[in-house]
Structures are given as structure tokens and as C-alpha cells.
Structure 1
Amino acid sequence: MAGSLLPVDEALAILLDDTRAIANTETLDLIEADGRILSEDLPARVTQPPFSASAMDGYAVRAADADAAGALLSVIGTVAAGETPRQTVAPGTAVRIFTGAPLPPGADSVVIQEDCQSVGGDRIKLIEPTKSGSNIRPAGQDFREGLTLLRQGRRLEARALSLAAAGGYGTLPVYCRPKIAVLATGDELVPPGEVPGPGQISASAGIALQSLARANGTQTRDLGIARDNAAAIEAAVASARAWGADVLITIGGASVGDRDLVGPTLQAMGMTLDFWKIAMRPGKPLMVGNLDAMKVLGLPGNPVSAYVCALVFAEPLIRRLARLAPRNRLMRAFAAEAIGPNGPRRHYMRARFTDRTNALVAPCSSQDSSLIATLASADCLIVRPPADGPVKPGDPLSVMMLDPNEP
């Protein structure tokens, strides 16, 4: 009965309350650290820029000699990026300088080349005056040695990695990625790519769950297919434990039928178990427990139900382990057509946008939870509250995006 089913939000809160983020760390090369979470504050090892440098191509001068148009200066040398200045800028002189080159001693400004005119004999005339400090990047303008560049917990992406490189780092300390093991169960399943025999189907749910887990900063291991017997399930679970899995996700066998052996087998192996029936559709049976340090999440065997349950439960669990902020897949939209009343469970209806500009969505024509093609063609899920009344065209809806833009 509906009254015995646990509400989705309450079930999710219980699951996350018992989840602690990964604490193990490792050190990786900069590019390998892309997308990872920094495990320590990062102080600058160098000052950037380490010297006062020219911001433009032009001439390094003393501002006192260049405060009026028409001033004549003698060019006594040249300095380019990567070189050390060999001349000191004395009164009445200038040094030809290029962008990024160190400012020569004695100079306090740079006149850009467009504001100068060559008058022959290594002499230039200023077309425009300049002020002290013009067109110079002073030492430490970006940051100084010892300044904290990045804080612990920062997700490392292009900008953060560039800053770390500029700050003197070739490797970075990061948190380890959660290890997610995925196990499909059922005598009827064959591996993807193998032609199913009579009464058999391809095991498709595991591929989807591994993809979802990888998109959320994990490493995954496919434990394959365990047949409907305790020995096969025990062997697969032992493999997950030996690998050091942080989460074991099982697909199928989480209900209470005679062939649903996953829960009893895991309990016999020492798992502490909370078994919930969740007030959601598709998907109702959900198994949550702990086997030593490994979290166990048992999902329904139907591929569509498994995927929807994974979005609602596995993704938040994984992101908490990975120290990633919760992914916000929800947005406000509007009904493109009339939708009938909802039943006693929260319903995640596969749907498509008919008009993205105005956020109009319509449910797919069939909501049968066995239709994988319908899931693949959908771009969102309409989230219907339990016992929600009929929806009219234009009524507001809450939708869960299947391909959100945020990381």
C-alpha cells in the first residue's frame, strides 16, 4: 500500500546522512589532476611576475625624460622576453623593449612604439608623453610567493590548473576518486554484444550506471553478471571488496521474490541492511546497506527504473563521496499539453521539450518502464508529486534535466 512506502526525499536524506566523503589522497601531474578535488591549500611557490616587465612593445624610458611630446632620446640597446637587460637607462636614453621583457635598471615606464618616431642615428622622438609606471607589469602584480592560490576543496579545471602551474607546481595533491563497482544479476541476462538466446535479454543497465558514475568523478569496475544463485553473488561481492570499492551498486534481485537473492546473500556476508520500498515510479524496491566500509545500493532490475533511481539516489551519493557539490538537475517548465492526474507515488515521467525558448515540455507517449528507447529519446523527466491533480496546458511543472550543463 502507498502508506507503507517511504517518501523519496526522506529516503535520500537517510542515505546521505550515513555517507562520508572520501578522505584518501594522492599526488598527480597537473593534467592528470584535471577535474579532481584539491586536498590541501596551495600557497604560491614563486612571485608572478617575478620581475617588473613590459606590457607592450616599445621603449623603456625614464618618465622624467618623456613627460612632453617632442622629446628626443638615444636608443642604447634592446631587450626581449627571456633576456637580461645589459644596459642601464640613463638620462636622455631609451632601450628598445618587447612585451614580457624585464624592465632595464633606471627605467620607470614604457612608451609604446606607436607613440614614437625614429629620427635616424638610433634616436627617437616622442609623439605622445608618458607617465611613470605606464605599460609596466610590476613584480608581484598577479601574486606573491606564499599567497594562497587555491583552497582545499577546489575542483580543478583549466583556470585553476593554469594558476597552479604559474605558481610553481608540476604536481598537485588531490582526493582519490570514489570506487564504484556495478553488478548486474539475473539468469536472463547476457553481456552487451552477445546475441540473446530464448528468454534472454542484453544487460544494458550496468553500462548506463557506469557512465553516470564516471560523469560524476569516479572510477568504476564492471563486475559482470551474477547468476541467480548465492555462490555467484558472493564471488562478485568478494571481487568488489578486494578492489576496495566504496560503493557496490547491484541491479536486480532487490525485491522479495523467490529468485531475489541479492539482499539475503549480502546479509549472510555481514551486511547491515535497511530495505526500503520507495514511493516513486518508475522504481520502487531500493536496498541500502553497509558491508564493512562498502556502501551497498541495490537498484531495480528494469533498466529504465534502475537509471531513474540512479539519478535520484546514486548520483547524490557519489557526488558526496567525491566532494562534489550536489548537481542541480531541477528546473521550472510548463506543460505543453494536458496531463492526467498522478497516482500515490512520485512519478518521474520521461518527457521532451517542445519549445525550449518558452520551456514547454510534453510527456512521451508511453511511460512503460521497459522502454529504453523512450528514455534515450527524452531530454528531461517531469517530476509529478504524489496524488497530483490534472495538469492543464501552460501549468507550471518541475522537471529533472537528463543532460544538465553544470559539471
Structure 2
Amino acid sequence: MMRLLNEAIKECLALASSALIENRSLDQCYGQYIAKDIIAQSALPLWSQSAMDGYAVRYHEAQEGQTLKVGEIIPAGHWPQKPLAIGEAARIFTGAPLPDGADSVIIQENCKSLPDHQVLIQQSAQKGKHIRQAGEEIALGEMIAQMGQKLTPGLIGLCAAQGFDKLPIFAKAKVCIIETGSELKSPGQKLSGAEIYATNALTLTPLISQSSAILSQVSRTEDSVQALVECIETILDSDTKVILTTGGVSVGDYDPVHEALAKLGAERHFWKVKMKPGKPISVASIKRNQGQDCLLIGLPGNPVSCVVAYLLFVHPLLQKLAGVPEHKCGLRRVQAVLTHEQNKQHQRAELLRVSLSPSSSKSTSTPYLCRLSGGQSSAWISSIAKADGLLYVPDQPCHWPKGHIVEVALFPWTQLEKVDSKFG
């Protein structure tokens, strides 16, 4: 039975239920997702310290015109040797621990060094000024990162300040691509007869990294069931989590994917979705002799259908496997104003390739104008190359007039000056 688009996306996402966890050193954690809550194992700062270069004092003794004896010098990384005596100041530097008895730091610009280890206060100190109190940034036992949070440079720095050298992260899924098609040649090779250049693997390769996954292998097979079975069996011996096939997923005499899955004893979750383009997408699980099942997603061979099906199904699946919270999986969305009339009579959801441009209209708060990026044939890769995202038209007849406000799902590589909102 053909699935509705939203049902099929949910069903596919539900298959990402077994993300792997590994401990990784901090310098290898950027962009990964934390696999469990991280709790502060110490206060930050560990102890009260100076925030400036200057003198640690008792504020009531350090008033304008007073002279104090400099008892010791405390650089960063050195612990005070004694408490602050009455009528005394300690020369102190940024980050150095505050000596017992001090309740203020007066910056060096407001003091004058005198002979015989004396200092003249030229501007009165204020109680608590220029002091970083112990634990004022982070308290012992405070949660500093939540499971599913993406590790940014700032968060990595915070974990380093807590003394963590490794963190538990969700391992990125390994992905293999198999291009099918006896007519395919690699770019740069000479074409003959009815051959064409293979584009799908090269288009998907950068997308896989943007989906928080790792591309481990790219293969190509002719339109042969046996060749495809042998290729898949080789991949099953590895730790690949997801296999993507491109092409050969329809019902033609030269479409080997379904027969290959049957020979491998795969469990088919669904085949065909009420969407345009991308209708013949197939999702199945293949059992291994050892280890977890391998997911195989059969993507259509037409280049636009291949990319659209990847973005709607594979992109959020790989994100979830990498630990992205489910409500954050998928494409970002923005609102835009249609520059054209859009009519649809058929009962399939349609994903139109559209480009966005800034709106100069003051009559709406919607910042973008939306227009078709070119011809909408599923074979026209140029419509992807010129587009910023996908306009979703529901699976029912509709009429949208010019000026209608719509939502556009942005491609992962699209960068706009202003993005209003994010959706899962």
C-alpha cells in the first residue's frame, strides 16, 4: 500500500532507534551530539580570584590617598603564601587566587607604586570589585550540557575547564552508496552510445556529512540482481549502518533492487510514497549474521527525485542516529510570499524546487519572496542547483493565489541572512 508522505517519514524515523555511543577525546568532539547529561565536577571558578591586574586589599583600608605596604606578589598559577595582614596589600594578577582577608581588587591604573614596597591608593576601592567569586559561573553539580546537545567550540571549552578529557557522544552512522545503472559513467570518462554521467553519488556525498553521518564507501553496479546482491553482501560484512541505492527501485525490467532485497531476505517497511518527485522510494532492513540490522533505502534514479527523497527521509534518519533530538531532525523552514499562482489537481504531495529572495514589502512581516527555480521535471538537476529549498504542496487539490504565505524547507547548504524559525 502506498504511504502518505508524513506517515512514511515518521515510519522511517522510527527505525533510528539504536544509536551507538562512544567516548571521544575533546579535540574530536566538535559537531558531535552528547550521549548523556554532563554534570559539573567542580565549581567554576574553583576559588575566588582576581579579575584584573592590581592589588588585593581590604576595601575600607584602600581609600583615596592612603598608603599600604605590599606584602607579597601573587601571579596566576601561584597560591597566596599568607593571609592579608592589616594595613597591607598584595600585588595580584588576573586569574590569581585571592588571599584570605581581601575583599576587593583595585586595578593598577588607580594606584602608584612607591619605594620600600609601598603603594599609594589614588582612587578608592569598592567592596567586591574586580573579584571572580568561587562558583559564580558554574556551581558544583550543575548540569553543563544535556543529552542531545551539539558540541560547539564554547561547550567544548567549558568541558575542558571542568577537566573532562573525553565525552560520551553518539557515534555518527556509517553510510554506503550504491549507484545502479549499466548506462552510468564517471565524470571525466568518455561517453559512448546511450551512456550518461553518474551524478547521484557525487550529489549525495556532501549531503551525508551535513546529515551528521560518515560516508564509508561508494560503489556502482550494472543493472544486475546478482551484481547488486554481491555488492550488498560485501557491505554487510562491515559496520555500515545505512546503505543507499540510487536507481533500479521502480518496476522496470532493469530495476534490480526489489529482487535483490528478496534474495537477501530483507524486511520491507514500505515502498512507494504519495509524493512527487520521489514516489518509488523503498525502505527495508537486512539482518546480519552478527550485530544490528542494516537499513537499506532505495532512492529513485532521477537526480531530483533522488535528492528530494534523501532530504525528506535519509537526512532526518541520519541526524537521529547521530543523537540529534527528534524534534530538531529535518530541514529548517522559513515563511515566504509566493510570487506566482500555484494550482494542483492531483492527490500526491508535491515538493517544488524554489528560490528565495529578500522582500522589500512593508505590508507583511514575511522577509522572503518565493519563486520556482526552473523547470520541475524530476530529471532536471538544474532545478536543485538554482534552488534554496522545497515548497511543500499538500496531498490534495489546492489553489494558492499570488501573495499567499507558504513555508519553504531550506536545503542544508542554504544560507540566508535572516532565518526566522526552525522546525523539526
Q: 2:282 — aligned with what? A: 287
Tell me how far apart the structure 1 counterparts of residues 70 and 131 of structure 2 sit (CA, whole Å).
19
Q: 2:11 — aligned with what? A: 14
What is the deviation of 1:89? 2.4
SS of the residue corresponding to residue 114 of structure 1 reads: helix
What is the deviation of 1:375? 1.1
Q: Tell me whether 1:180 sits opposite 2:175 in the alignment.
A: yes
Moved more, 86-95 or 296-305: 86-95
Q: 1:302 — aligned with what? A: 302
Q: Tell me whether 1:35 sits opposite 2:44 in the alignment.
A: no
Work out whether residues 35 and 323 of structure 2, in 8 Å CA contact, stay in contact via their aligned partners in 1. Answer: no
Q: Aligned pair in 2 of structure 1 residues 69, 241: CA closer, same or farther (>3 Å)?
A: same
Q: 2:330 — aligned with what? A: 327
- Structure 2 counterparts to residues 47-196 of structure 1, below 5 A: 47-66=43-62, 68-86=63-81, 88-118=83-113, 120-196=115-191
Tell me how far apart the structure 2 counterparts of residues 353 and 153 of structure 1 sit (CA, whole Å).
31
Work out whether residues 37 and 143 of structure 2, in 8 Å CA contact, stay in contact via their aligned partners in 1. Answer: yes
Work out whether residues 355 and 361 of structure 1, in 8 Å CA contact, stay in contact via their aligned partners in 2. Answer: no
Amino acid of the residue matched to residue 108 of structure 1? D
**How many residues in Structure 1 have an aligned counterpart in Structure 2?**
402
What is the deviation of 1:8? 0.7
What is the deviation of 1:404? 5.0
Q: 2:317 — aligned with what? A: 317
Amino acid of the residue matched to residue 295 of structure 2? K
Q: Tell me whether 1:392 sits opposite 2:388 in the alignment.
A: no
| TM-superposition CA deviations, 1:302-346 (whole Å, max 9, x none) | 111100111111112212222213134232211112334453322
Work out whether residues 21 and 320 of structure 1, in 8 Å CA contact, stay in contact via their aligned partners in 2. Answer: no
Amino acid of the residue matched to residue 173 of structure 1? P
Equivalent of residue 383 in structure 2, options 374, 377, 394: 374
Moved more, 123-132 or 222-231: 123-132
What is the deviation of 1:119? 5.3
Q: 2:370 — aligned with what? A: 361
Tell me how far apart the structure 2 counterparts of residues 40 and 330 of structure 1 sit (CA, whole Å).
28
What is the deviation of 1:30? 0.7
What is the deviation of 1:21? 3.7
Work out whether residues 26 and 165 of structure 2, in 8 Å CA contact, stay in contact via their aligned partners in 1. Answer: yes
| TM-superposition CA deviations, 1:117-156 (whole Å, max 9, x none) | 4455443332333344322112333335554432333221
What is the deviation of 1:241? 0.8
Gaps of 5+ in 1: none
What is the deviation of 1:356? 4.8
What is the deviation of 1:69? 2.8
Q: 2:230 — aligned with what? A: 235
Amino acid of the residue matched to residue 167 of structure 1? Q
Amino acid of the residue matched to residue 356 of structure 2? F
Amino acid of the residue matched to residue 332 of structure 1? Q
Moved more, 156-165 or 33-42: 33-42
What is the deviation of 1:185? 0.6
What is the deviation of 1:391? 3.2
Work out whether residues 229 and 263 of structure 2, in 8 Å CA contact, stay in contact via their aligned partners in 1. Answer: no
Tell me how far apart the structure 2 counterparts of residues 177 and 117 of structure 1 sit (CA, whole Å).
58
Q: 2:418 — aligned with what? A: none
Moved more, 118-127 or 259-268: 118-127
TM-score by length of 1: 0.91
Tell me how far apart the structure 2 counterparts of residues 17 and 171 of structure 1 sit (CA, whole Å).
30
Amino acid of the residue matched to residue 318 of structure 2? I
TM-score by length of 2: 0.88
Tell me how far apart the structure 2 counterparts of residues 145 and 396 of structure 1 sit (CA, whole Å).
49
Work out whether residues 177 and 217 of structure 2, in 8 Å CA contact, stay in contact via their aligned partners in 1. Answer: yes
Tell me how far apart the structure 1 counterparts of residues 230 and 129 of structure 2 sit (CA, whole Å).
72
Tell me how far apart the structure 2 counterparts of residues 167 and 242 of structure 1 sit (CA, whole Å).
40
What is the deviation of 1:186? 1.0
Identity of aligned residues (%): 31
Work out whether residues 187 and 198 of structure 2, in 8 Å CA contact, stay in contact via their aligned partners in 1. Answer: yes
Tell me how far apart the structure 2 counterparts of residues 152 and 399 of structure 1 sit (CA, whole Å).
29
Tell me how far apart the structure 2 counterparts of residues 347 and 142 of structure 1 sit (CA, whole Å).
50
Equivalent of residue 350 in structure 1, options 344, 350, 353: 353
Tell me how far apart the structure 2 counterparts of residues 52 and 397 of structure 1 sit (CA, whole Å).
54
Equivalent of residue 257 in structure 1, options 248, 252, 257: 252
Q: Aligned pair in 2 of structure 1 residues 258, 275: CA closer, same or farther (>3 Å)?
A: farther
Amino acid of the residue matched to residue 31 of structure 2? G
Gaps of 5+ in 2: 288-292, 361-366, 416-421
Q: Aligned pair in 2 of structure 1 residues 76, 383: CA closer, same or farther (>3 Å)?
A: same
Q: Tell me whether 1:210 sits opposite 2:222 in the alignment.
A: no
Q: Aligned pair in 2 of structure 1 residues 17, 27: CA closer, same or farther (>3 Å)?
A: closer
Tell me how far apart the structure 2 counterparts of residues 30 and 306 of structure 1 sit (CA, whole Å).
36
